[in-house]
């Protein structure tokens, strides 16, 4: 299984935010895309998930062309997005927020919820609490769990470390690694380049609407140069 992005472009009023980029996200690993604010990362994520209309290129998941498929259709095909702002409903409990992601029968959903609690056992301690009462880290666990309820083929995480304490970031990234080791395809969008590169098998840096693949596992990789150019 693989997510393939081919020559993807996104333009707003004739100005290109994403300019003909191509990259792949294979199963069983973490592919990260790092870069500054305004680099085009959010536009890329939006175009893959279907929230933003692409002006060119293709999005292909597991051999199926999703380029002209609706956002709901892409979700049914296996694309799940955890948005940057988490979008937790404050009037619902943590458990109810998670269950919103379930497309199947209640019995199947409860079984899936039980599996997810193995990944985020801390949710057991606050599952009855309202969404507006949750900390940033708790909200992030709920948002990731909600996306996982539909057993996606590819999980897209948009800035999961944003606004979180370092100890919480460490726990969230450990869960992301565990998901990847279980076979989940993950696209990790991050400004925290150092943390993202540490757990990723494949990496891209984005700048001015273009992506550059990074050989970050090589002995000659210079992280200082990367930060000067892209972060």
What domains are there in the chain, each with its CATH number?
Answer: 1-78+155-160+182-231 (3.40.50.300)
> Strand pairing of 56-61 and 2-12?
antiparallel
Residue among 122, 121, 123, 101 at smallest CA distance from 112: 101
So what's the pLDDT on residue 129? 96
Question: Is residue 91 a contact partner of residue 130, using CB atoms and an 8 Å limit?
Answer: yes
So what's the pLDDT on residue 192? 85
Report pLDDT digits (tens) over 71-114. 999 999 999 999 988 899 999 999 999 999 988 666 688 899 99
Which phi and psi angles does 22 have, rounded to 5°? -135, 135
Q: Where are the alpha helices (DSSP H) in 36-105?
A: 41-49, 71-77, 94-99
Question: Is residue 187 a contact partner of residue 25, using CB atoms and an 8 Å limit?
Answer: yes
Which phi and psi angles does 12 have, rounded to 5°? -120, 115
For the chain, which ranges sit under pLDDT 50?
Answer: none
b or e along 159-188 (b: 16 or more beta carbons within 10 Å of the residue's beta carbon)?
A: bbbeebeeebbebbbebbeebbeeebbbbb
């Amino acid at each position: 299984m693989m997510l393939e992005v081919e020559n993807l472009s996104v333009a707003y009023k004739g100005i290109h935010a994403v300019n003909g980029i191509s990259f792949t996200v294979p199963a069983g690993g973490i592919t990260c895309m790092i870069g500054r604010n305004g680099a085009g990362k959010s536009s890329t994520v939006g175009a893959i998930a279907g929230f933003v209309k692409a002006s060119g290129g293709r999005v292909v998941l597991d051999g199926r062309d999703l380029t002209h498929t609706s956002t709901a259709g892409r979700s049914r095909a296996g694309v799940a997005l955890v948005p940057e702002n988490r979008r937790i409903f404050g009037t619902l409990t943590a458990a109810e927020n998670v269950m919103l992601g379930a497309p199947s029968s209640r019995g199947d959903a409860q079984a899936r919820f039980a599996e997810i609690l193995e990944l985020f056992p801390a949710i057991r301690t606050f599952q009855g609490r309202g969404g507006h009462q949750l900390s940033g880290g708790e909200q992030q666990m709920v948002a990731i769990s909600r996306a996982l309820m539909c057993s996606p083929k590819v999980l897209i995480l948009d800035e999961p470390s944003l606004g979180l304490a370092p100890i919480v970031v460490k726990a969230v990234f450990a869960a992301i690694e565990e998901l990847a080791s279980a076979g989940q395809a993950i696209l990790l969008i991050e400004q925290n380049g150092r943390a993202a590169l540490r757990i990723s098998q494949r990496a891209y840096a984005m700048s001015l609407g273009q992506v550059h693949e990074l050989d970050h596992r090589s002995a000659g990789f210079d992280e200082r140069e990367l930060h000067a150019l892209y972060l």
